Structure 1
Amino acid sequence: MTGVSHSGGSSCTRCFRSPRTCDASVDSDTVRTFLGSLDTQRASFGVFFTTSRFTKDAEDAADRSSKSVVLVDGQEPKLMIRYRVGTQVRRQVEIVEVDEDFFE
C-alpha cells in the first residue's frame, strides 16, 4: 500500500498501490492481497496502478469484490500524467545551463 487518504469528515477512505512491475503481469493473488489491505484499512475504495498489465483473473477478482476498485494499467498512468488528468503538480524543476554565446 503506497498511501491512504481520508476525505473530509466522511468515512470514505482511499488506498493506493503502485507496484514496480514493468514486465510481469499483475496476477489475481496480488489483486486479492490489495483487496485484503483495503479491508485492513477499512477502505471502501481503492485504485491499483501498474505500468504493466492485469491478467484476466486479476480483473475478475477485482470485479467480484464487494469493494469499489479501479485497475489502471499499461499506458494509462503515463497518459494521466501527460494530460494532467487526476493528478496535480507538487513541484516544478527548472534546469538552467550556461549560455556560452553570451560570453562571446
Structure 2
Amino acid sequence: MNNQAPMGFISGLILEGREHEEDNNNDRARELFEKALAESERLCGRTALITGYVLANLQGLYDKIGAADKARALEPRLKEIMQKYDCGPEVLGSWKSFRSLNGLQTEESS
C-alpha cells in the first residue's frame, strides 16, 4: 500500500459517513466514522492529522445525536493532535471552523 492509499481509504469512509449524516442516517454514519477512526489509528497512527480529522467528524456526530459525554471524551486526543501539528494558527483555526460550521461551541466560546 503506498502512502496515499490509507488516506484515500480513510477519506472515503469519512465522506460516506458525512453523506449518511446529511441523510439523518446517524447510526450508519457513526459506524463509518468509528471504522475510519480505527483504520486511521491502525494505518497512520494515534496522533496522525487524518486521525484528528476523523475525531472531529465523530465528535460532531456525537454532539448531534446527543452523546455529549462521548464527544467530550474525544477532546484530549483532538488537543494532542492539534499541538503535535501546530504549524501556526491555521491548524487550530481549521478545527474551530469545522466546529462552528456544525453549530458546536469551541472551548473559548463556551
TM-score, structure 2 as length reference: 0.33
RCO comparison, higher one (Cα < 8 Å, 6+): 1
TM-score, structure 1 as length reference: 0.34
Larger Rg: 1
